[in-house]
Amino acid sequence: MERVVTGAGLLRPDQVATILGVSVNTLAIWRHNRRGPSFLKFGRQVRYPSDVIDEFLERSRRVCNPEISRKR
């Protein structure tokens, strides 16, 4: 059975912008260009499932390996 998202797990663009450290306008540009986290649209309202934001942050993680830097 498919999971149903309830309103409690949905974030507004201003909340997501704060979490990601970007502007609301940047989120709008990302949506337009089909970049950034997946979102839901209800008429004119845009919402981001909180688990999608968590996944987006995890996918965006870059690990620095200081051992490689020292060898150069």
pLDDT in tens, 35-71: 999 999 999 999 999 999 999 999 998 888 877 656 5
The CATH number that domain 7-61 falls under is: 1.10.10.10
Arithmetic mean of pLDDT, 11-33: 97
* Under 8 Å between Cβ of 53 and 16: yes
Position 49 scores a pLDDT of 97
Q: How many CB atoms lie within 10 A of CB 51?
A: 11
With the C-alpha atoms ordered 19, 20, 21, 26, is the resulting torsion angle positive or negative? negative
- Which one, of 70, 37, 69, 30, lies nearest residue 51 by Cα? 37
Position 52 scores a pLDDT of 96
36 burial via Cβ count (<10 Å: 0-12, 13-18, 19+): buried
Q: What is the pLDDT of residues 1-15, one digit of tens each?
A: 555 555 679 999 999
